[in-house]
Structures are given as C-alpha cells and as structure tokens.
C-alpha cells in the first residue's frame, strides 16, 4: 500500500521568504510523486511530478521539489513567496493504475 504524510496543516511565510512544504511517502515500488495546488472552490492543478528521471523537478510558478529516496521525501520549495501562492498544497503518490493517494494537505498563507 502507498501512503503520504504531510506534517502540519498550516504554514505561514512572509512575502519574499522561502517556502518549504514537507512530504514523506511510503511505497513498495518505485513511486511516481506529485504536488498539486488547490485554490478555494476549485479543483486540483498539477504543480510538478517526479517519474524516475531527474531527482530535482521543476514545476510551474517557480516551485521545485527534490526526490530523496534515502529519506523517502519529496519536499516542495520556492525561493521567494508571492501573495498569489496562498492556497492548499497536496502531495500525492501514484501507482501502476495511475490511482493517486493524497496527503491531507497543507494550507500556505503568505503575509504581506
């Protein structure tokens, strides 16, 4: 079985500060890993994905994530937060049938 752990439910940063959202996964097979973003009352939008190519993955809106097998982690980072980054972020792990298992999500707040 696959699972994702996102520690903490809320992260608050100042505009211009580093964003770090943590994700740890459990998978019995080499995983596909994803970060999705959700704005209020909307569906999920893909930020980036890891599919066993480069371990450092660059996504949209300046986000990137690094796959670390030894730590079973796939943390999401952005060097400089913008007000428009305020949203809920979900880490997910995928299996052979493309069924994704999501974490509980982290709400990112950005202070002016």
Partner 1 sequence: DTGVSQDPRHKITKRGQNVTFRCDPISEHNRLYWYRQTLGQGPEFLTYFQNEAQLEKSRLLSDRFSAERPKGSFSTLEIQRTEQGDSAMYLCASSFSGLAGGTGELFFGEGSRLTVL
User: Which residues here bind partner 1, judged by CB under 8 A?
Assistant: 4, 9, 32, 34, 36, 41-46, 49, 51, 90, 92, 94-105
CB contact set of 111 (below 8 Å; sequence gap of 6+): 12, 13, 14, 15
Q: Which tokens sit at 50?
A: 């890891």
Q: Which is nearer to partner 1, 2 or 17 (CB)?
A: 2
> In whole angstroms, how close is the CB of 45 to partner 1 at the nearest point?
7
By CB atoms closer than 10 A (0-12, 13-18, 19+), residue 72 is middle
Q: Which is nearer to partner 1, 34 or 67 (CB)?
A: 34
> In whole angstroms, how close is the CB of 7 to partner 1 at the nearest point?
14
């Amino acid at each position: 079985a696959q699972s994702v752990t996102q520690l903490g439910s809320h992260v608050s940063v100042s505009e211009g500060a580093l964003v770090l959202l943590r994700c740890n996964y459990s998978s019995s097979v080499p995983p596909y890993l994803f970060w999705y973003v959700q704005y209020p009352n909307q569906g999920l939008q893909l930020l980036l994905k890891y599919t066993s190519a480069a371990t450092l993955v660059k996504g949209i809106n300046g986000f990137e994530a690094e796959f670390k097998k030894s730590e079973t982690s796939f943390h999401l980072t952005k060097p400089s937060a913008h007000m428009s980054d305020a949203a809920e972020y979900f880490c997910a792990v995928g299996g052979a049938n493309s069924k994704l298992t999501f974490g509980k999500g982290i709400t990112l707040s950005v202070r002016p």
